[in-house]
Structure 1
Amino acid sequence: MDPIALKAEFPILNQDINGHPLVYLDNAATSQKPRSVIEAVKRYYEWDNANVHRGVHTLGSRATDAYEGAREKVARFLNAASREIVFTRGTTTGLNLVAHGYAREVLKPGDEIVITHMEHHSNVIPWQQAAKATGATLKYIPLQPDGTLSLADVESTITENTKIVSIAYVSNVLGTVNPVAKIAEIAHKNGAIIVVDGAQSTPHKKVDVKALNVDFYAFSGHKMCAPTGIGALYGKAALLEKMEPMEFGGEMIDFVGLQDSTWKEIPWKFEGGTPIIAGAVGLAAAIDFLESIGLDEIDRHEKKLATYAIERLSAIDGISIYGPREDRVGLVTFNLGDVHPHDVATVLDTEGIAIRAGHHCCQPLMRWLEQSATARASFYLYNTEQDVDRLAEALWKTKEFFGYEPVR
């Protein structure tokens, strides 16, 4: 794997920002798009653009083939069946679909939903609302001091009253990789189902939903080189068949009468209206691109960068780094003394370096860290050790700019 050669495949990265070559380190928020994905979407709009599942004309047939072909590619990518893949707008929509279509149908007072303190808001708020609507209780698995989970805590938090466990495979702040397969085993032993937020795992590591034995798995395309506005929800067929749709209208119906209607089979009953056809085409192209490199190669490269970044940043007085030091993905979340993360990000931007600053849609986790906000540098397949060096050098300049001296 040659990240320098791969970088040339991403047109947006070939530019200067504020007089400096762009170093893009905000990949956990969204990744950049390779030329092959951009061309696939462009080709669809130039040659195949039509609505799907409706017209019998040639363009309609080609668009339908492209859309359903993308579904088959996603299914193979996750080791699932095509009928178990529902196209969505992204991870948030997928999690909300489960919280509405499944949770509200099965939960009752006294039941429990279990999540963790490290969850993104999209894996907190839907469960808060489901608990309020059904009388269920929302519980949290506590975190260890390094931001990991103890299986002993998982065992003690999940009980026979637990009906749903929902957890991020990878934390978007801490970089923690959670033991999803083991948590799934504990959940199933107690009669619960497990839902996985795969937003930060799917772009970076090989995912096999059958090996993990998860019941639902949601992810977004835009974090894995695909366009924005497209994602997918995997669900075990038996569970999807029991679920109610969240949106109603054209495309998802079988028969419409004056007083009642029936739905199509899965997965189409969840895809009301004109779907995100071009996005699905782009997602299929992104999967081809990632698989041509190899997810295991990407994982190894990013872990190497994270290790190097922790080493470089730890040498800067006043830097605090959050999350585990081992078994983490390619991101580093940190603070520079009492300099506000937004100020750090602003100064880095003047050096052409794009990072994230804020609460990262994880306010409960920020409170657990006792921080109002943090800065985050997140890496992808086109980042290099030279990018990390640029980041470290710019942080030294930031420290000098604010005259920060650590308290002795």
Structure 2
Amino acid sequence: MGSAPSCGSNVRNIDTHLQRLSSNQKLTEDELNMLTTMLRTKASEAMEIKHKLADDGLYVDSIRKTIALFFINTCSHKFNKVKQRVKFIMEISTILLQTKFINIIRGCLIKLHIRGWVNVDGTVDKSAYDLIRWSMSFVVDLADVSDELSFSLANDKNYMAAIKTILEDKSTQYLQSDISPLSDFDSEIIENCLKVVTNISRWSNCAQLLRNHNFTKVIKPYLNSSDELTSLAVLSALAAIVNESECDIINAALDKVQLLLDVLKHGLDENDRRYRGWSCKECAYTVKTLVRNDANKQLLVELGVLELLVKMGRTGNEEEQCESVNAAWALCFNKDTQQKVAKDESLGLVELLFDLKTSSNSHIRKTCNGALWTLRDVLASSEYQKNRIFECRQDTQIGLTMEYFIYKSATYASLSSNRQSGDPQWMHTGGR
């Protein structure tokens, strides 16, 4: 992160940085390094404060200011590239964990959901509300990129219990706003709670923790949210934590699954590969998570997911190609899908797998070879594919392909055996 500036220059540089935050200027690498150094110092100083709570039940002023600094900078759009912002957020996550300032961030919700953020006269206690809003808003971003920080959240029973209580207590008002509408303040807190759960669920080491906390039951009602993006986030979270016996939850939400594919379809036509806040990579990841339950495979194929995955694999970067072929391979374990892939030449999935199986990316290469091996029998009997499959069998890499497929088969067998115990069956074992 670079060497720390002198005390005098540090003050001047921080002032310059804060001026840039209120302007349209992007931050330089040196300014970002200075910023992370300053935030680490502020977090460490906050943890040294002996009496952290004031008489009003809120954190003392210096801690509130530090929380505000993390919020302002994490949610800032003053980055030159997306990768630069992701790197910065990862550094923020590391700072929070190493200084243990994450305990204070979690404490904002744990303490204040009990204390409340409404005054006795019914007005909003702005100081309390801001603390919850600040802490949850940047936790949403942090949980999206850091598995370690997500695990620290999911593993905190008090923090997750606070989220559960808020979601359970407010669900009727949120979903039936014509009866007793929630304030905009409460609605924002609920939506941030759902976003935190969604982003945590995308990490394989956290999904089972959410299931242990019974979040399937807690968030299921929010599938019916009138806000489409909220319901889409809930669909993504449920896809990660439901087991095979609960797949009817997804099948009953056909309109939400269709919404997911519509968002992916539009995103593929955008220059930044995003639509309504969702990236194509996120959409494909959710598809991959959905198809780990057998009952969802046919539904997705009927809704046209294969065509979208092929387009994504053809036009996307390596990250999108990874998610595309991962989801495609998962779908190919369904017998009906195998027939469709082998017989429908216009679909182009087999051609995509053949083209990408020589990718320089080892994960893409192995996944494509694995998918082709899964399809080997139906391809061998396919009139238009039989010559291609013969070529594949002559591939010098087929030994590696077979070895990899045997390994994955053992993994799938192990995961399938967990269905009886209710454990989620992940299509991948290495995280996101």
**Class of the TM-score when normalised by the shorter of the 2 chains:** under 0.3
Higher relative contact order (CA 8 A, sep 6+): 1
Greater gyration radius: 2
The alignment's TM-score, normalised by the length of structure 2, stands at 0.23
1 or 2, which has the higher helix percentage? 2
